[in-house]
Amino acid sequence: MSETTLRETALRLDSEDPLAKRRELFALDEAVYLDGNSLGALPAHVPDRMADVIAREWGRLRIRSWDESGWWTAPERIGDRIAPLVGAAPGQIVVGDSTSVNVFKAVVAAARLAGDDRDEILVDATTFPTDGYIAQSAARMTGRRLVPVAPHEVAAAAGPRTAAALVNHVDYRTGRLHDLPGITEALRAAGALAVWDLCHSAGALPVGLDAHGVDLAVGCTYKYLNGGPGAPAYLYVAERHQAAFDSPLPGWNSHADPFGMTPGYTAAEGALRGRVGTPDILSMLALESALDVWDGVSIEDVRAKSLALTDFFLRCVRAYVPEGAVESLTPEAHAERGSQVALRCDAAPAVMAELIARGVVGDLRRPDVLRFGFTPLYVGFADAERAARVLAEVVAEVLGGARDEASGGGRTV
Amino acid sequence: MSETTLRETALRLDSEDPLAKRRELFALDEAVYLDGNSLGALPAHVPDRMADVIAREWGRLRIRSWDESGWWTAPERIGDRIAPLVGAAPGQIVVGDSTSVNVFKAVVAAARLAGDDRDEILVDATTFPTDGYIAQSAARMTGRRLVPVAPHEVAAAAGPRTAAALVNHVDYRTGRLHDLPGITEALRAAGALAVWDLCHSAGALPVGLDAHGVDLAVGCTYKYLNGGPGAPAYLYVAERHQAAFDSPLPGWNSHADPFGMTPGYTAAEGALRGRVGTPDILSMLALESALDVWDGVSIEDVRAKSLALTDFFLRCVRAYVPEGAVESLTPEAHAERGSQVALRCDAAPAVMAELIARGVVGDLRRPDVLRFGFTPLYVGFADAERAARVLAEVVAEVLGGARDEASGGGRTV
């Protein structure tokens, strides 16, 4: 299909998009920002809110804000804001600490919930690395063996020795969506716990934590949830596990009576048990404010747009980019696709640098993967078309240049 | 001494105070803020800096800020800003996570450094509770026994089975300063590691981590360092221990090549090994900005003023408050005093509520302790005199009211 036709199609799709107006809620510029799967864009109202948090809540109310500005209860309050986006009833999510720290809490707690006779922990062999590193530490410190397994083999690998499996809902590199309902059910049938990492799915597609019987989950908030750089992560503890949830990080914020300041530890009831120390209030309240952009949004609409966007981007790439120059690592099947497109490309570092220079911002996963994240709240179809068009130009120049150089043409890439 | 004379003395001491001008760097009001040992006041320049971080670094540069705005290296860069305040050479402190999480890293790492034949961990029996809870978890997960010991008995208790001791430099409740050099030396002599919690000393007095041979230390940044509510904590790993430092939380930020994203973990060199996950950038950069108020300040001058302030406050309390109404829990001896005064008082909750209502902000430690923190960068001698004077008024009214009520006078307290 010609460029003209695809541009016209993009304009039509944008005009029909029920989420198109959400884009106005964000601080964006002329760039096509396809890196929201790494750092979500700034919601435009957050700066004013944070100015108030800093100048009034910290600067004037100071210590009183722990009560009067609701700082103390922010971790569970914000958890309840995230809950509907991941299909969780209230009271099961607390916000705080990094994803890595929450992976540690979740995997250790899962091992303890499973019991001492289950001495293996499965981990997604294709995981974002920190999950694997931390799961290894959790296994070491709970006397268990860590077994890396490809996500599609987790169900078959789970057995009577399996305590738990830690799996990514969407693969950070390829954008592949894993079968959360099926894997969770297989783990349950084997008597093991399912621990899901939602970093690349929450805010991009329905998760259904409660509906699918997930045991524990973690996720970050700075990607599709737009919470800001390094915004605190969250921990989901299904209600049925809360009474026996035994945290390896039982800090005073998870105590039943934190201001009693007793030397003995008594865990709080509920998801509060996942709290640890004093929460980083500035980052946390930026996240809380950022979540306003979700008011009135259906995650099913987000998913529909996400799939339409990645379909359309792949269609434009096929139309524009020379055959063989890039290869999609992202599954065609909707049931297996998250909200990003990953393209393998020989000259990926040079291509991504030039794309960014021309206002199409994706990112690179070494050595050869171009990642393009599609955030349905602020990316449109015209963005997708433009990104593919600029990619085609850049690929032609960079690969062409490389061929010239290889043949002695001397052109610098 | 009469009120008039003490007020005159206060004005003279303020006029002679070399740190008096620092107060102008903070956003303060007419209240006497004596709760900087819980939440430090806002440095006045921080709102503008954070507006830029949010609107430009997050909002416009977005993902590029990880490199271009120095986000990625913030934990070690800010650690090096804190280092001189606690007597550490560069390259030994990283900022990030809560104090509780850093206690876990430090105690587990200390146990591992000490070796498996040392099966006891000593913990300050008077510690701020979270240290005890977390040390218990660290002991459990490293197969050791946790032994609570009063700080002045740690030196005698350390023996061939002692792996490490976790001690508070200054007691959060009484303000007692513990003997860091002596206890550290005794632990060293016993072959055990010294892990210090600096939450209530850093920024208030010289710590001398390197000079005294401390092994590991943690601290928060939202008290005397004024980093903001829940600002990230820090971890000190003495250079001699860095090569063998074995973190229980080996997240991807502590990997030798984090963007290599390899499934196997290889620890970074140096204090970076104490990093875990993606740092909470907004809270972290507020802290970095807040540290500007220390430029050109000598921690010895801070200590001298701190002692003068607490001396003077105690003198005013003795002069103004009815005999027997309050009892100081804070040692008279300078060598045993931090930067707060703790007064035991029968009606402490009612007294503190009324003090705050009258613009003297301290805090309560249940059931009966009034805490007054003296932050030398922004608290002056006139503040101390006014706080004691208002305390005397409130104590007389509340205790007098209580006596009226007890005798049937019917007055509501």
Here the CATH number for the domain that contains residue B338 is 3.90.1150.10
* Contact criterion met (CB below 8 Å) for B308 and B341: no
| Band of residue B97 on the pLDDT scale cut at 50, 70, 90 | very high
Same structural domain for residues B92 and B19? no
Q: How far is A137 from chain B (nearest CA, A)?
A: 6
* Contact criterion met (CB below 8 Å) for B267 and B209: no
Q: B191-241 pLDDT, tens per residue?
A: 999 999 999 999 999 999 999 999 999 999 999 999 999 999 999 999 999
Q: A25-69 pLDDT, tens per residue?
A: 999 999 999 999 999 999 999 999 999 999 999 999 999 999 999
Query: Could you identify the residue written with the tokens 């402490």?
Result: B348
The 10 Å Cβ neighbour count of residue B367 is 10
Q: What is the pLDDT of residue B411?
A: 33
Please tell me whether the peptide bond between B367 and the residue prior to it is cis, using omega within 30 degrees of 0. yes
* Average pLDDT estimate for B359-380: 96
How many residue contacts between A and B have a Cβ separation below 8 Å? 258
C-alpha B262: how far from chain center: 37
Q: What is the pLDDT of residue B2?
A: 77
CATH number of residue A158's parent domain: 3.40.640.10
Q: Domain for residue B412, yes or no?
A: no
* Contact criterion met (CB below 8 Å) for A351 and A345: yes
Nearest to A195, CA basis, from A97, A94, A122: A122
The 10 Å Cβ neighbour count of residue B268 is 18
Q: How far is A13 from chain B (nearest CA, A)?
A: 27
Determine which helix (DSSP H) or strand (DSSP E) holds A96, and give its type and residue range.
none
Of the candidates A294, A325, A350, which is a domain's last residue? A294
Cross-chain residue pair B279–A58, CB shorter than 8 Å: no
Same structural domain for residues A335 and A353? yes
What is the number of structural domains in chain B? Answer: 2
Of the candidates A253, A271, A294, which is a domain's last residue? A294
Say if A175 is an interface residue toward chain B (CB within 8 Å).
Answer: no
How far lies A397's CA from each of A366, A400, A401, A403, in Å? Answer: 21, 5, 6, 10
* Average pLDDT estimate for A104-122: 98
| Band of residue B277 on the pLDDT scale cut at 50, 70, 90 | very high
Q: Domain for residue A310, yes or no?
A: yes
Mean pLDDT over each residue of chain A, to the nearest integer = 95
Same structural domain for residues B139 and B239? yes
Mean pLDDT over each residue of chain B, to the nearest integer = 95
Q: Domain for residue B19, yes or no?
A: yes
Q: What is the pLDDT of residue B399?
A: 85
User: Least CB-CB distance to A249: which of B46, B134, B281?
Assistant: B134
The ipTM value here is 0.95
Q: What is the pLDDT of residue B301?
A: 98
Is A128 marked active-site? yes
* Contact criterion met (CB below 8 Å) for B312 and B377: no
Whether A406 has a pLDDT exceeding 60, the answer reads no
Mutate which of A112, A146, A261, A280 to test chain B, going by most B C-beta atoms within 10 A? A280
Q: What is the pLDDT of residue A382?
A: 98
Q: What is the pLDDT of residue B398?
A: 92
Cross-chain residue pair B55–A47, CB shorter than 8 Å: yes
Q: How far is A26 from chain B (nearest CA, A)?
A: 9
Same structural domain for residues B156 and B265? yes
Interatomic CA distance for residues B120 and B300, integer angstroms: 36
Same structural domain for residues B180 and B134? yes
| Band of residue A409 on the pLDDT scale cut at 50, 70, 90 | very low
Q: Domain for residue A42, yes or no?
A: no
User: Least CB-CB distance to A280: which of B58, B283, B365?
Assistant: B283
Cross-chain residue pair A101–B100, CB shorter than 8 Å: no
Q: What is the pLDDT of residue A344?
A: 97
Is A144 marked active-site? no
Q: What is the pLDDT of residue B404?
A: 55
Whether B409 has a pLDDT exceeding 80, the answer reads no
Q: What is the pLDDT of residue A413?
A: 29
Residues of A in contact with B277 (CB under 8 A): 97-101, 130, 233
Q: Domain for residue B43, yes or no?
A: no
Which residue among the candidates B128, B172, B224, B374 is catalytic per the annotation? B128
Of the candidates B294, B316, B345, which is a domain's last residue? B294
Same structural domain for residues B281 and B306? no
Q: What is the pLDDT of residue A402?
A: 62
* Average pLDDT estimate for B39-57: 98
Interatomic CA distance for residues A307 and A377, integer angstroms: 13
Say if A30 is an interface residue toward chain B (CB within 8 Å).
Answer: no
Q: How far is A45 from chain B (nearest CA, A)?
A: 10
Same structural domain for residues A273 and A306? no
Which residue among the candidates A23, A223, A337, A389 is catalytic per the annotation? A223
Contacts of B282 (CB under 8 A, 6+ apart): A50, A228, A229, A230, A231, A280, A282, A283, A286, B50, B53, B54, B58
Nearest to B193, CA basis, from B251, B125, B244: B244
Whether B320 has a pLDDT exceeding 60, the answer reads yes
Say if B62 is an interface residue toward chain A (CB within 8 Å).
Answer: yes
Say if A58 is an interface residue toward chain B (CB within 8 Å).
Answer: yes
* Contact criterion met (CB below 8 Å) for A225 and A291: yes
Residues of B in contact with A125 (CB under 8 A): 263
Say if B274 is an interface residue toward chain A (CB within 8 Å).
Answer: no
Say if A148 is an interface residue toward chain B (CB within 8 Å).
Answer: yes
Q: Is the dihedral of CA B188, B193, B197, B202 positive or negative?
A: positive
* Domain ranges, residue B147: 48-294
**Helix, strand, coil in percent for chain A, rounding step 5:** 45, 15, 40
Q: What is the pLDDT of residue B61?
A: 96
Q: What is the pLDDT of residue B402?
A: 62
Mutate which of A29, A35, A58 to test chain B, going by most B C-beta atoms within 10 A? A58
* Average pLDDT estimate for A248-273: 95
